[in-house]
């Protein structure tokens, strides 16, 4: 499979009306079923004119362009045998974002090329569909008036239906007026340069659909955006820039447009640094072909290590999966590959100079014109950077009117407070120091509560703590949750940030926590978010609040805690990774020790177990371990296939009465290489062993 292209046999259309005509499409990276594909780009061309030269080069350049993975559709290799040619092609146009008709000398001699063009223009007029024509060695005026060889070729076709001729003429006339490219005039006929321009135009238009998600209820960002964007858009006027923080002078030598630049946005947690940086990133997307957003660098480093972040950066920019085993190795790849690529990179929540050094230590790692945006709570990270940050922006709280607007949008879902609540709304706002996160969370907590006594109590609580004590303010919303929903909040904060929201729902349901209601309430109170990919997201201040409460409840001290990278100990959720030669003996020893211990806390707490196999050893020592309250067993690894011998092992062992895993509710299989796995094997295990669990979840990673 070449970037998603099917390897199966496909039919070639041999009819005279379609011979030589061809189309191809780039599929956007969305999980979809065959026959309902959503495409990025639809290419329409006359095969006899351009199939093996211009179109072929453009096709492959588009497939490998930018940072977005693209799958490819071609009529002669991707239409399943037996499926109707016409409906497939016209349907593909309707489901595309952009169409590119490559109008060549014999384009109008194909009935299907004309029908494709007619349908493109109809889609352009009736929906948000973009048409970018390329006039390949023909003049737009010849297409418009059917003159020269182009017109002669069109008139020579006697087998066309009257409807095709009439609508085809109209479509050719309309497309000739669109902004496109004339191959002979662009770059003096250099087709390579034309292809590069087409690809850049396409990628920039598609990038708009990949913007980062920002809250809808924004307030007070316009002026800040304008200030930073003015600096970005006018580099020649900033050779000597006066910094915002303390009016410190930043001496820049030469024209900043001739080298990579770095912008640092800093301020306290919850002030809106990430939101501002995302808005800037979104506004710049159409100027860059290669982009990367690394969220929560601090937390990701703690959970996975800095090499994991380096791997993500390389994957985003190069569209290549690179396993980085050492920090120095990752640095060397970034230095060698990024010097030839203009990139836009957003590094969110850097809290340590070592993180910045591993990802963007020096200016000469990057091609001229590249832009690195960094957010941090710690200004020292920017001051100590070897990159020499070009622009440092200190983000402060909202003023009273901006704060009131943001609060109203969450507390009342309008821009205005009801008259009898305006005074107390201003009083509440005055206690929060213009911090957007607290305004959002407290406002969401008060939404729908029209009893004024409740508002007075909240105001009194807020008055008893300083502006800077953000967590105490946020805890007001946490304390208002039902007990079960509090537990869900703590579980997400400690274990499931960045994890798919579906899987822990099984555990919570097994614990009787009404998870659907709980998750919905947490979303309404702005305590969590679920992104477009179904992953749990949480602001770092709320995450820290949850983990602080967890530590209080479990009397944990600083050190190794369940969410820390490499944690080895008892927990509600455990992630066990088996590398080559590693049998995770620490985990097995821990579980076996609990058998002889009077205190069964080690096993009674564990409800969710992730078992990751990175090597070839697929043995499961967990099969005989005492895990009486385990709700979810999640297996990761490319070796768990239909033929895995472990299925029979499960069937034999779990058939025993009172087996440690006999009450297991959910089996989750996360297959790293998308190995097809039917329901046959796991269901065979259930039927043969008489297990109680009723749910199997299959996740392709």
* Catalytic residue positions, numbered: 116
Which residue blocks in 51-132 are alpha helix, DSSP H? 54-63, 75-78, 85-94, 111-126
Relative to beta strand 39-46, strand 96-103 is parallel
Contacts of 102 (CB under 8 A, 6+ apart): 43, 44, 45, 46, 50, 54, 55, 58, 134, 136
Q: How far is CA 274 from CA 104, 296, 312, 419, 640, in A?
A: 48, 9, 19, 33, 39
**What is the distance between the alpha carbons of residues 607 and 627, in angstroms, rounded to a whole number?**
8
Query: Using an 8 Å Cβ cutoff, are 586 and 577 in contact?
Result: no
**What is the distance between the alpha carbons of residues 454 and 434, in angstroms, rounded to a whole number?**
22
First to last CA, the chain: 17
Handedness of CA 204, 209, 211, 216 (dihedral sign): positive
Query: Using an 8 Å Cβ cutoff, are 666 and 633 in contact?
Result: yes
The token pair that represents 299 in the structure block = 């937390």
**What is the distance between the alpha carbons of residues 241 and 152, in angstroms, rounded to a whole number?**
62
**What is the distance between the alpha carbons of residues 465 and 461, in angstroms, rounded to a whole number?**
7
Query: Using an 8 Å Cβ cutoff, are 171 and 114 in contact?
Result: yes
Q: Which residues does residue 391 pair with via DSSP β-bridges, in sequence order?
A: 263
Q: How far is CA 112 from CA 99, 117, 122, 157, 268, in A?
A: 15, 8, 15, 13, 60
**What is the distance between the alpha carbons of residues 377 and 397, in angstroms, rounded to a whole number?**
14
Q: Which residues does residue 46 pair with via DSSP β-bridges, in sequence order?
A: 21
Query: Using an 8 Å Cβ cutoff, are 403 and 431 in contact?
Result: no
The token pair that represents 167 in the structure block = 């609508």
**What is the distance between the alpha carbons of residues 121 and 131, in angstroms, rounded to a whole number?**
8
- Residue 671: CB atoms within 10 A of its CB come to 19
Which residue blocks in 176-293 are alpha helix, DSSP H? 191-207, 222-233, 273-284
**What is the distance between the alpha carbons of residues 602 and 429, in angstroms, rounded to a whole number?**
45
530-536 long-range Cβ contacts below 8 angstroms, 24+ apart = 530/501, 531/213, 532/213, 533/500, 534/500, 534/501, 534/502, 535/498, 535/499, 535/500, 535/501, 536/492, 536/496, 536/497, 536/498, 536/499, 536/500, 536/501
In this structure, the dihedral spanned by the alpha carbons of residues 233, 237, 238 and 242, taken in order and rounded to 10 degrees, is: -110
DSSP state of 127: S
Residue with tokens 């806390």: 601
DSSP state of 257: G
Contacts of 321 (CB under 8 A, 6+ apart): 311, 315
Q: Is 488 exposed, middle or buried (0-12, 13-18, 19+ CB in 10 A)?
A: buried
The token pair that represents 60 in the structure block = 């492959």
3-state SS class at 374? strand
Which residue blocks in 464-538 are alpha helix, DSSP H? 470-479, 483-491, 502-510, 515-524
Q: How far is CA 435 from CA 334, 404, 458, in A?
A: 36, 11, 17
**What is the distance between the alpha carbons of residues 90 and 516, in angstroms, rounded to a whole number?**
41
**What is the distance between the alpha carbons of residues 311 and 301, in angstroms, rounded to a whole number?**
12
Q: What counts of helices (H) and strands (E) characterise the chain?
A: 29, 21
Contacts of 286 (CB under 8 A, 6+ apart): 204, 205, 207, 208
């Amino acid at each position: 499979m070449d970037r998603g292209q099917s390897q199966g046999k496909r039919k070639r259309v041999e009819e005279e009306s379609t011979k030589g005509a061809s189309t191809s499409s780039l599929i956007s990276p969305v999980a979809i079923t065959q026959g309902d594909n959503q495409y990025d780009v639809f290419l329409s061309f006359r095969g006899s004119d351009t199939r093996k030269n211009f179109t072929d080069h453009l096709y492959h350049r588009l497939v490998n362009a930018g940072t977005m993975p693209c799958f490819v559709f071609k009529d002669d290799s991707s239409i399943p045998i037996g499926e109707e040619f016409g409906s497939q092609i016209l349907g593909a146009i309707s489901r595309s974002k952009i169409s590119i008709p490559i109008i060549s000398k014999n384009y109008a001699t194909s009935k299907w090329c004309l029908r494709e063009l007619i349908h493109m223009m109809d889609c352009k007029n009736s929906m948000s569909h973009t048409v970018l024509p390329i006039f390949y060695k023909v003049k737009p005026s010849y297409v418009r008036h059917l003159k020269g060889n182009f017109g002669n070729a069109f008139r020579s076709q006697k087998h066309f239906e009257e409807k095709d001729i009439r609508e085809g003429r109209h479509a050719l006339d309309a497309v000739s007026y669109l902004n496109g490219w004339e191959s002979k005039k662009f770059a003096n006929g250099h087709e390579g340069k034309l292809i590069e321009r087409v690809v850049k135009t396409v990628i920039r238009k598609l990038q708009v659909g990949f913007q980062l998600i920002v809250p809808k209820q924004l307030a007070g960002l316009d002026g800040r955006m304008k200030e930073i964007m003015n600096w970005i858009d006018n580099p020649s006027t900033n050779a000597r820039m006066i910094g915002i923080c303390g009016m410190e002078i930043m001496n820049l030598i030469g024209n900043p447009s001739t080298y990579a630049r770095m912008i640092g946005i800093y301020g306290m947690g919850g002030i809106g640094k990430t939101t501002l940086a995302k808005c800037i990133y979104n506004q710049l997307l159409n100027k860059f072909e290669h982009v990367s957003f690394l969220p929560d660098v601090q937390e990701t480093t703690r959970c996975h290590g800095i090499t994991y972040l380096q791997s993500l950066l390389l994957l985003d920019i190069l569209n290549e999966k690179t396993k980085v085993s050492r920090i120095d190795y990752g640095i060397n790849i970034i230095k060698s590959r990024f010097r030839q690529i203009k990139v836009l990179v957003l590094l969110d929540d850097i809290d340590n100079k070592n993180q910045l050094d591993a990802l963007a230590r020096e200016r000469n790692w990057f091609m001229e014109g590249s832009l690195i945006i960094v957010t941090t709570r710690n200004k020292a990270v920017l001051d100590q950077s070897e990159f020499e940050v070009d622009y440092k922006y200190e983000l402060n709280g909202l003023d009273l009117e901006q704060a009131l607007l943001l609060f109203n949008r969450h507390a009342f879902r309008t821009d205005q407070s009801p008259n009898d609540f305006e005074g107390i709304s201003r009083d509440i706002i005055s206690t929060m120091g213009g911090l957007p996160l607290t305004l959002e969370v407290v406002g969401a907590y008060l939404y729908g509560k029209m009893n004024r006594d409740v508002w007075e109590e909240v105001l009194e609580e807020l008055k008893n703590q300083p502006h800077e004590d953000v967590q105490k303010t946020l805890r007001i919303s946490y304390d208002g949750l039902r007990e079960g929903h509090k537990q869900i909040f703590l579980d997400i904060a400690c274990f499931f940030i960045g994890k798919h929201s579906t899987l822990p729902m099984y555990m919570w349901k097994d614990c009787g926590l009404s998870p659907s209601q709980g998750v919905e309430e947490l979303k309404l109170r702005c305590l969590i978010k679920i992104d477009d990919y179904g992953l749990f997201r949480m602001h770092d201040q709320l995450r820290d609040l949850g983990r602080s409460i967890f530590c209080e409840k479990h009397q944990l001290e600083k050190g190794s805690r369940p969410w820390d990278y490499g944690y080895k100990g008892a927990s509600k959720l455990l992630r066990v990774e088996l590398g080559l030669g590693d049998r995770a003996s620490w985990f097995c020893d821990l579980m076996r020790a609990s058998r002889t211990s009077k205190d069964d806390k080690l096993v009674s707490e564990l409800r969710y177990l992730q078992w990751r196999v990175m090597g070839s050893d697929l043995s499961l020592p967990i099969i005989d371990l005492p895990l009486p309250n385990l709700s979810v067993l999640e297996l990761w690894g490319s070796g768990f296939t239909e033929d895995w011998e472990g299925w029979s092992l499960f069937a034999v062992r779990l058939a025993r009465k009172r087996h440690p895993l006999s009450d297991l509710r959910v089996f989750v299989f996360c297959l790293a290489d998308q190995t097809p796995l039917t329901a046959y094997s796991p269901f065979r295990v259930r039927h043969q062993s008489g297990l109680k669990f009723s749910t199997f979840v299959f996740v392709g990673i």
